[in-house]
Structure 1
């Protein structure tokens, strides 16, 4: 299996704990014009907040 990886921008990662939810936030920007190309948030730990109807 062959995989091709293309670099299309500069990526930044930060780990946050907003309102107690541990998350990883990733953003990729176009290096020439600074435009946001992609954004992702992912929980980094299991949390029981979500099963209790918690939202931020």
Structure 2
């Protein structure tokens, strides 16, 4: 009969600090474009107006 290895204890998922941490508010707009070209045009337009933007393709 083969011996089973000793069972491992489950890791505790308890934060070290009990203080509540909150994320700062984040407000976003997602625009669905019909093409990569339209996406690029909108990106350039919004960047020119001073918006912080990033391109995403899903």
Same fold, TM exceeding 0.5? no
| Structure with the larger helix share | 2
- Structure number with greater CO (CA < 8 Å, separation at least 6) is 1
| Structure with the larger strand share | 1
What's the TM-score once normalised by structure 2's chain length?
A: 0.29
What's the TM-score once normalised by structure 1's chain length?
A: 0.30
Whichever of the two has the greater Rg, that structure is: 2
